[in-house]
Amino acid sequence: MTVVELKTTTPPTGLAEFWFYFSRSKGAVIGLAVFLIILFLAIFAAFVAPHSPSIQNREVLLLPPAWAEGGRFTYFLGTDAVGRDILSRLIYGARFSLFIGVVVVSLSVVSGVLVGLIAGYFRGRTDTIIMRVMDIILAFPSLLLALVLVAVLGPGLLNAMIAISLVNLPHFVRLTRAAVMTERTKDYVIASKVAGAGTLRLMFLTILPNCLAPLIVQATLAFSAAILDAAALGFLGMGAQPPTPEWGTMLAEAREFIQRAWWVVTFPGLAILITVLAINLMGDGLRDALDPKLKRS
């Protein structure tokens, strides 16, 4: 086949090329923007939030949002059953959600990549044992497994994060293993071996950097899944414990007011929805931007 060459004088840099493909997807750009806003709010929560998340104002229990009848502008999204400002709690809650996402993703990426790299590089019996264990983890409904783990470890935010990391692990292991297996037989790896590179060098310096693109995409998606799982655990009373302003926990506390005060349930739910949606959109954009590169090289 005739190769059609691009008529560029200077080839675009990696970042410019990445942005070119990423910005083609409108959803991804919107997702990125929303995510950056949430990130900003979380970091500067102390300055942005109108109230403290834990101070209870006995005079304004279950105050409706500002635009509803009887609402006040100082409590823009209303207050909960013990008189805490919902907007402030949501802003502080973003800290927890993002923190959970970061910790869970780092934990599962580091351990998953390591295990997958070992399985894909050494193959044979090591591979079989690792993959069967991963199959067992995958066979459990993920939330159920997380619940069981938290029940064993004891409820709390840290234990919830460990449990969610373990549930996420098999995806990273499988993805890494598949990528390592295709890269391992390529000529450049053999050339490195012929040059005398040892096992560790081959694994971490030669093969691993070439497997990163699909992992980055998976990590983004795992980030949103982690937020969702943490919220679910919080809702079931197994995650962050009250009075922590974690979104799932806030939902759980508001359960009994669903009939009387819709805002107590709606806004934490919306916060979760918007964050997860934004990150997922961003992940899709990342996949579009990174995948053609995989095919082209």
Partner 1 sequence: MSLLEVENLVVEFQTASGPFRAVNGVSLKVNEGEVLAIVGESGSGKSVSMLAAMGLLPWTAKVTADKLQFNGIDLLGMSSSERRRIVGKDIAMIFQEPIASLNPCFTVGFQIEEVLRLHLGLDKAARRARAIELFELVGIPNPAERLSHFPHQMSGGQCQRVMIAIALSCNPKLLIADEPTTALDVTIQKQILDLLMRLQAEHGMGMIIITHNMGVVAETADRVIVQYKGRKIEEADVLSLFESPRSAYTRALLSALPDNATGDRLPTIAEFLTDDQIFAGAVR
Partner 2 sequence: MTPVLEARDIVRDYHVPGSLLKRARIVHAVKGVSFAVDQGKTLAIVGESGCGKSTLARIVTMIDPATSGEMLIDGERVDIASDGLTPEMRRKVQIVFQNPYGTLNPRKKIGDILSEPLIINTSMKADERRDMAMAMLKKVGLEEKHYGRYPHMFSGGQRQRVAIARALMLNPRLLVLDEPVSALDLSVQAQVLNLLADLQDEFQLTYVFISHDLSVVRYIADDVMVMYYGEAVEYGSRDEVFSDPKHSYTKTLFAATPRADVDSIKARLARKAA
Q: Which residues bind partner 2 (CB under 8 A)?
A: 11, 186-188, 190-198, 201, 206, 209-210, 296-297
- Residue 2 touches which member of partner 2, partner 1, none, C-beta under 5-8 Å by kind: partner 1
Minimum separation from the CB atom of position 295 to partner 1 (A): 15
Minimum separation from the CB atom of position 235 to partner 2 (A): 42
Residue with tokens 């934990």: 107
Identity of the residue, 206 or 249, whose beta carbon is nearer to partner 2 in the bound complex: 206
Identity of the residue, 206 or 275, whose beta carbon is nearer to partner 2 in the bound complex: 206
> Which stretches of the chain bind partner 1, using CB under 8 A?
1-8, 12, 20
Minimum separation from the CB atom of position 96 to partner 1 (A): 41
Minimum separation from the CB atom of position 8 to partner 1 (A): 4
Give the per-residue SS3 of 78-132. CECCCCCEHHHHHHHHHHHHHHHHHHHHHHHHHHHHHHHHHHHHHCHHHHHHHHH
Please return the burial class of 210, using the count of CB atoms within 10 Å of its CB with bins 0-12, 13-18 and 19+.
middle
Identity of the residue, 14 or 154, whose beta carbon is nearer to partner 2 in the bound complex: 14
Identity of the residue, 3 or 195, whose beta carbon is nearer to partner 1 in the bound complex: 3
Identity of the residue, 106 or 182, whose beta carbon is nearer to partner 2 in the bound complex: 182
- Residue 44 touches which member of partner 2, partner 1, none, C-beta under 5-8 Å by kind: none
- Of 239, 217, 224, 208, which is closest to residue 278 (Cα–Cα)? 224
Distance of CA 231 to the CA centre of its chain: 12
Question: Which token pair is 27?
Answer: 């959803």
Minimum separation from the CB atom of position 236 to partner 1 (A): 46
- Residue 209 touches which member of partner 1, partner 2, none, C-beta under 5-8 Å by kind: partner 2
Please return the burial class of 266, using the count of CB atoms within 10 Å of its CB with bins 0-12, 13-18 and 19+.
middle
Q: How far apart are CA 18 and CA 25, in angstroms?
A: 12
- Residue 20 touches which member of partner 1, partner 2, none, C-beta under 5-8 Å by kind: partner 1
- Residue 140 touches which member of partner 1, partner 2, none, C-beta under 5-8 Å by kind: none
Handedness of CA 282, 284, 290, 292 (dihedral sign): negative
